[in-house]
Structure 1
């Protein structure tokens, strides 16, 4: 790609310095930075990082709560061709030590905590995983670090497809993986989100959700892309969020049901003016406090399907309101296929893996070449999630693929059967495994936890599933259990296999 087509995150900031010299880029406590202020600080920080050896492809790690410094670090990394990772500060020392050893950052910017100190001790020194990292403490040390560096823009050549942001994803296989998102992918996702959310001049986003989560980060970056204002608060605290919405006239915030209920309760006595917030309808009390927004994003109650590896959202319900699929239609800069285990496209109405390609798709995982290759097999990003394209073209999200059961010649995904099981009013929880079968190779077994005082037999459960999905996917065996063992928020299938006779999965 020629220079005339170049647009990096650093370029976005540089244009705002010129075109929005009076615009407020960041608010964080007493800190208020215009776009020229932010641009100068980012240059100084980039030069300080470069002096510590940070260059193209090197990693910079943030260990702390939300701060305007997260955005500064990301943009400074962008100016150098480096990669910024805001890590989950809520993790244990062992988990943080894993991130340090896995990412091997050149510079770590950290907020003091016992867990971070323990992780540093575990990974530093002789034989440690990150003995050479420069550690800069957030606060006065960080400010001195920035101020001491020159203000000129670094002369580094940065490719638009170079990764710039690393976000660790859920550890479904036992350890997390850092998904790498490029300048081009983040800008493309921001443009799609801008369109669906109908973000306009003056848009102000309150970063009250964690910036290590793509749900907050995607709005932070879309706000940057637009030249709006990002307001930062360390973590969600209901009374402070109400105060900030009123004080900074916030347009949007990272909020979901329980958080909204907390704001309603906190604001009953404080009586802050929240009318600047153009947000999703939730309850009569909430709707009376805010301005209910009619953009496709808010009208669809922020619905759709997404994951870190696609920059946030892959499909938007706002593009499919009234359609059969509750995940809507793909983002304008991506396209989606529903593929079977052999990467053949499934017809409408059939379940397969949601696969995607397009401008917002990630660049692979840090230091995971085999996993990255598997995820991009055949030129499509394999999300690991199941879905179905409906007859009207909209998408329905089913659930994680995790493993597949092969019964005769048919592929059966546990998540689809579990979804059908849980629609029965007597079933509180359920999991599905494959058990060996001489005739079919495997058959489907359902492990079911009934709701309190419920009384239902196995035959009724099987017939209920048959009414929901194809007959060959129904359980041939049902066992009742007092609880379903979990690994995180998902069933622990290894324990279930051992306990209930699972096995003979394809490829094993």
Structure 2
């Protein structure tokens, strides 16, 4: 395996090449690269003793922590697969993840949903409590050598794509993640002293891709459990953070907090946002930040497939492909479409995923005709750049989160008073879109909108619940599926991604 380079290999090299370099900061935890490497070896040994062998899964149910990076690297060392699950999900959603992934080990932080999931007896492995339990796990292992692992084996699983009402775990290999990191650090112009604040969720590829690119360049990963504007300000000042996971409403919250304190945010080299924000930070001139962090991506391509930063002034607002991939616009029969015609964005290359865990039929469709099918529509412009049109199956974008109508519709239909339901996105000034439900009640049934909203909130993450419910006599259909265009026209839908 002389040509292989896993995430574990990247860490092992940094332990030798950067013996004094800080790798991780998390509260009182500060680890150099050699210290991180030793902890990862002990953790891998301890996981192995609990049955984590090549191909087995390890699940994290909790907020951001240095443990997330350590577990990922330990799984890389073993040839296993690590999954950080969305801790904001309901107990029902988490039970599905546990039953679907069948992890050998679950590391969990107590919350109402995780505790209910554990007590419900969802498909088991060893359950290790985060904090003291996790530290005991690490301390119980030994530093030893491990067999070499191929970098083409899956190492990271991220749940995504709930188009049929239930999500699937996209499997990403070390080779894909290293390739994506290499492209990202070039477009972002990352340097070895790059310090990234993991202020967004690590179950989201937007945070994870920068965490791993920071590891790749030998920088510093700073962790905070979840976004808190004042704590973000404090950490940027204290750790001289270069970049953080931030988007519009989060930036506005930081601006609102900053005048109340004495935090120096000038180390943050970030995208221009507003006059008040730009005065606090250093506006970055890298291609990534100049282009407003633009491009087209998804979990299945490790983050970004195209970068606007590689196409200044181009016609296509998704930019041009990463240097390590090919992109084609294909028709339904797998033929490449002429310039200017809309078809499915498809790809080949180094940073693409390995398929969904335990979804053979879906994987066959995803890799039809020898290309990875993204499920999104696009167009090749005359200058060769790419324009993203929108999902083939509709998605609602609320803040930084994707909400898939099928998932919310499934929850609504589970209410005994609901005969049918469809979900659309309506424009929202703050969050880009809000969720709106169109509901048909069973004959003679009566139920307040607030009850249906609460019903969905009890089954799904809170950000997926409808903000508004309207009642109708029938849902317009195209075949067996809702006619979303007609629903948009009737009920004020719009502002979808790519529109």
- TM-score, normalization: structure 1? 0.79
Q: What displacement does 1:76 show?
A: 0.2
Listed as ranges, the matches of 1:289-308 within 5 Å are 289-308=280-299
How far off its partner does 1:113 sit? 1.1
Structure with max Cα Rg: 1
Listed as ranges, the gaps of 5+ residues in structure 2 are 397-422, 428-435, 440-455, 457-463, 482-499
CA distance 1:484–1:294, shift in 2 (3 Å): same
Match of 2:205 among 214, 222, 241: 214
Which of 134, 144, 156 is matched with 1:152 structurally? 144
1:18 shift after superposition: 0.1
Aligned to 1:249: 240
- Picking from 134, 145, 151, the partner of 1:142 is 134
Partner SS for 1:305: strand
Q: Which residue number in structure 1 is paired with residue 373 of structure 2? A: 382
- Kept after mapping to 2: 8 A contact 1:329/1:393: yes
Mapping for residues 473-492 of structure 1, pairs under 5 Å: 485=438
Kindly provide the CA deviation profile for residues 418-438 of structure 1, in whole angstroms up to 9, marking residues without a partner as x: 9xxxxxxxxxxxxxxxxxxxx
Change (3 A) 1:168 1:293: same
Q: C-alpha separation between the residues in 2 aligned to 1:450 and 1:140?
A: 45
Deviations 1:374-429 (A, max 9, x none): 10011100000000011111111011112xxxxxxxxxxx89xx9xxxxxxxxxxx
Displacement after TM superposition at 1:130 (Å)? 1.5
Residues 81 and 156 in structure 1, CA contact (< 8 A), matched pair in contact too: no
Do residues 258 (structure 1) and 249 (structure 2) align? yes
Given the superposition, is the C-alpha separation of residues 485 and 192 from structure 1 closer, same or farther in structure 2, using an over 3 Å criterion?
farther
Rounded Cα–Cα distance in structure 2 between residues aligned with 1:500 and 1:190: 45
The alpha carbon displacement at 1:201 in A equals 1.6
Q: Name the SS of the counterpart of 1:4 in structure 2.
A: coil
Q: Residue by residue, what CA displacement relative to the aligned partner does 1:81-110 show, whole Å, maximum 9, x if unpaired?
A: 000000000000010000000000000011
Deviation at 1:499, TM superposition (A): 2.5
Q: Relative to structure 1, is the Cα distance of residues 386 and 497 closer, same or farther in structure 2, using a 3 angstrom cutoff?
A: farther
The alpha carbon displacement at 1:323 in A equals: 0.8
By how many angstroms is 1:449 displaced?
11
Equivalent residue for 1:322, pick from 305, 313, 324: 313
Change (3 A) 1:448 1:94: closer
Per-residue deviation, 1:450? 11
Alignment of 1:179 with 2:170, yes or no, is yes
CA shift digits 1:6-61 (9 cap, x unpaired): 21111000000000000000000000000000000000000000000101000000
20 and 448 in structure 1: CA distance in 2 versus 1, 3 angstrom threshold:
closer
The DSSP-based 3-state class of the residue aligned with 2:478 is coil
Residues 182 and 498 (structure 1), Cα distance of their counterparts in 2 relative to 1, 3 Å cut: farther
Deviation at 1:500, TM superposition (A): 2.6
**Secondary structure, aligned partner of 1:499:** coil
Find out whether 1:13 has 2:6 as its counterpart. no
Query: Can you list the C-alpha shifts for 1:137-186, whole angstroms capped at 9, x where unaligned?
Result: 11111111111211123x22311100000000031210000000001000
Question: Is 1:26 equivalent to 2:24 in the alignment?
Answer: yes
Deviations 1:444-463 (A, max 9, x none): xxx99999xxxxxxxxxxxx
- Count of residues in correspondence between the two structures: 420
Q: What does residue 425 of structure 1 align with?
A: none
Q: Does 1:337 align with 2:328?
A: yes
1:6-405 residue pairs with structure 2 within 5 A? Answer: 6-122=4-120, 124=121, 129-131=122-124, 133-153=125-145, 155-402=146-393
Output the aligned Cα RMSD: 2.3
Task: Output the CA distance in 2 between the equivalents of 1:485 and 1:174.
Answer: 17
Counterpart of 2:343 in 1: which secondary structure? strand
Contact 1:497 1:503 in 2 (8 A): no
* CA pair 392-156 structure 1, distance change in 2 beyond 3 A: same
The 3 A distance-change label for structure 1 pair 347 and 211 is same
* Cα deviation, residue 496, structure 1: 10
Deviation of 1:4 after TM superposition, in Å, equals 1.9
